[in-house]
Structure 1
Amino acid sequence: MDWGRNYLLVDPEHFRIDYRINPYMDPTQQPDLARARAQWQSLIEAIDAAGGSVEVLDQSPDCPDMVYAMNLAQVWTRAGQRHALLSHMRYPQRRLETPAVAEWLTEHGYQLHWIGTPELADTTQLDTDGSPAPHFESGDAFWWRDELIIGHGPRSQAAAVDRVGAITGVPTVGIAITHPAMFHLDLSFCPLTETAALVCPGAFDPADADALLARVPDPITLGVDEALDFAANCIVVGDTVLGPRLDDRLIKELDSRGLRHVALDLSEFQLSGGSARCLSNPLDITFS
């Protein structure tokens, strides 16, 4: 693919599980921070070894989930101008992450966009009529084959799909996520090449699963159990797929498409519902 070589990661200094907002999270099972840092560093080293690069954002002490950088903003470049659409998180526990990343993005020359108005103290965004703006979390959006594929249901709302298209100026396709443990699209869908993608049909409304598969010329389908083991939560750097250990079937599927797989132990982050894709936000997407 023509993107996926430059990523933003968030330092996991304050990573912890303070609450339960997805089926993986249990505040009685805290991550080992030393192991988490070693695993996070291994992801950076693997990206570098595959020919990519990483920029690092400090984690705010009051944002334990901020380490999942993919959820912070949808980032793109058009005509040399950098843009970022800030997420409007469904859960209030995560909304303080938005102003934290907004500061970094502004410092790095990004023009900021919002689903609604960003001015409220609790970072709840409103529409111009004072009603709540629809939720949008960037872990639900993938730029692929000249479209933004946007999952909605558990986190992002269907009303955000067209609005994201209007802000970015690109076609959007909404896909209804129905499985509660695949709360972001990046847990059930992963573009691999210009034609191939990992897809878990069991994560979606059946009609939308068919619609998504129809858009993928060369799908590799995942069972629900495989997706719940984070098989789709990978990143692709050139011809290298970085993510959790995969079974022999999936490794053979990747190999047949000229892709090699590098298995990473990111188990400390999986305790809170994320793996390689959740931890990394691509900065090199270009819209024409």
Structure 2
Amino acid sequence: MSSTLDAPLATPAPETGPGALAVTQERVPTRRRYLMCEPRFFTVEYVINPWMRPDQPVSTERAVEQWTELKRTYERLGHQVETIEPQPGLPDMVFAANSGTVIDGRVLGARFRAEQRSAEAEHYRRWFLEHGYRSVVMPEKINEAEGDFAWTGGLLLAGTGFRTDPGAHAEAQEVLGVPVVSLRLVDPRYYHLDVALFVLDDQSERPLVAYYPEAFSAGSQRVLRRLFPDAVIANDADAECLGLNGVSDGRNVVLPKEATHLAERIAERGFEPVLVDISELRKSGGGPKCCTMELRG
């Protein structure tokens, strides 16, 4: 990846005056590189999570409009967006985050638990090889990639409980060469780590995350409190609109527009919330992060 993608972006002057929120520090955005897939064939025709209702109407056209605006939002913020060609018969291929984890140019692919999504993994594997990636490993264990893996800059937080096998955590550590911390999810609504937690700052010595405690087991909550004592804590309303399915560049934080409480909390920490409408794709249990795989290195 070009070094310019790691360079800080221009930061607007902080808001001042009596109405300004108190902030703890200046936040510096960095350029990112993302992989996305247009929801050209998006629909809800099966049920693999509690959000999916095949009996409810779905507009593919509206999903494409929302996805396009999300892509433009990243580009307006100065990020580079790559795309993969969607495939007929794979309505959830839009959720690119589930098909690969990329750290320092190494790629660990995906192996889906649901048969309906299994073919997606091969299309993404081919994309990586066609775009110059040479270290591409397909997992032996069930592994839904960035759906259950969150990179803090020093640790890979790894979710399990509904989709990704616990054994995939050790596999990720071996393939990617980074330390892994396992976290257990206990609420089926928050079936992936990326709908219960996301990383706000992965560039500092003390990374910062936001998370919804009730999505995690008691032991995992203790781990999170120990690792991230300054974390932003989401409430029920944040979680229920998939507000934790956010994407941060270190300053600008893209969130579903309904996550107003979470937006206020992160603004107090010096971040700039960027609210987007992702309501049509949420009918399949997805949000901004689900649509976005980060290509690191």
- What is the CA–CA distance in structure 2 between the aligned matches of 1:19 and 1:72, rounded to whole Å? 19
| Structure 1 position 251 matched with structure 2 position 263 | yes
- What is the CA–CA distance in structure 2 between the aligned matches of 1:151 and 1:60, rounded to whole Å? 28
- Contact 1:5-1:238 within 8 A present in 2 as well: no
Correspondence for 2:214: 202
Return the letter of the residue paired with 2:137. Answer: H
> Superposition pairs for residues 184-203 of structure 1, below 5 Å?
184-193=192-201, 194=204, 195-203=207-215
Q: 1:2 to 1:150 in 2, by over 3 A?
A: farther
Q: 1:27 to 1:249 in 2, by over 3 A?
A: closer
- Contact 2:39-2:94 within 8 A present in 1 as well: yes
> What is the deviation of 1:272?
0.2
Q: Secondary structure at the match of 2:290?
A: helix
Q: 1:213 to 1:282 in 2, by over 3 A?
A: same
The 10-residue stretch of structure 1 (135-144 or 248-257) with the greater mean CA deviation from structure 2: 248-257
Q: 1:136 to 1:262 in 2, by over 3 A?
A: same
Runs of 4+ in 1 over 4 A off after TM superposition: 1-4
Q: 1:198 to 1:152 in 2, by over 3 A?
A: same
- Contact 1:3-1:282 within 8 A present in 2 as well: no
Among 24, 27, 31, the alignment partner of 2:58 is 31
> Superposition pairs for residues 201-280 of structure 1, below 5 Å?
201-246=213-258, 248-280=260-292
> What is the deviation of 1:217?
3.8
> What is the deviation of 1:167?
1.1
> Superposition pairs for residues 132-211 of structure 1, below 5 Å?
134-138=141-145, 139-193=147-201, 194=204, 195-211=207-223
Structure 1 residues without counterparts, runs of 5 or longer: 117-133
Correspondence for 1:85: 108
Correspondence for 1:112: 136
> Superposition pairs for residues 116-131 of structure 1, below 5 Å?
116=140
Return the letter of the residue paired with 1:200. Answer: Y
- What is the CA–CA distance in structure 1 between the aligned matches of 2:46 and 2:250, rounded to whole Å? 36
Structure 2 residues without counterparts, runs of 5 or longer: 1-27
Q: Secondary structure at the match of 2:188?
A: coil
| Structure 1 position 8 matched with structure 2 position 35 | yes
- Contact 1:135-1:160 within 8 A present in 2 as well: yes
Correspondence for 2:91: 64
- What is the CA–CA distance in structure 1 between the aligned matches of 2:211 and 2:234, rounded to whole Å? 6
CA deviation string 1:14-50 (max 9, x = no partner): 1111210000001122421111111011101111111
Return the letter of the residue paired with 1:66. Answer: M
May I ask how many residue pairs the two structures share in their alignment? 264
Q: 1:182 to 1:84 in 2, by over 3 A?
A: same
Q: 1:2 to 1:140 in 2, by over 3 A?
A: farther
Q: Secondary structure at the match of 1:278?
A: coil
> What is the deviation of 1:224?
3.5
- What is the CA–CA distance in structure 1 between the aligned matches of 2:37 and 2:247, rounded to whole Å? 16
Q: 1:158 to 1:224 in 2, by over 3 A?
A: farther
> What is the deviation of 1:160?
1.3
- Contact 2:125-2:136 within 8 A present in 1 as well: yes
Correspondence for 2:12: none
In the superposition, the TM-score normalised over structure 1's length comes to 0.87
> What is the deviation of 1:281?
0.5
- Contact 2:208-2:230 within 8 A present in 1 as well: yes
Query: Percent identity over the alignment?
Result: 30
Return the letter of the residue paired with 2:179. Answer: P
In the superposition, the TM-score normalised over structure 2's length comes to 0.85
Q: 1:189 to 1:3 in 2, by over 3 A?
A: farther
CA deviation string 1:229-265 (max 9, x = no partner): 1111110134111121255543332222211111100
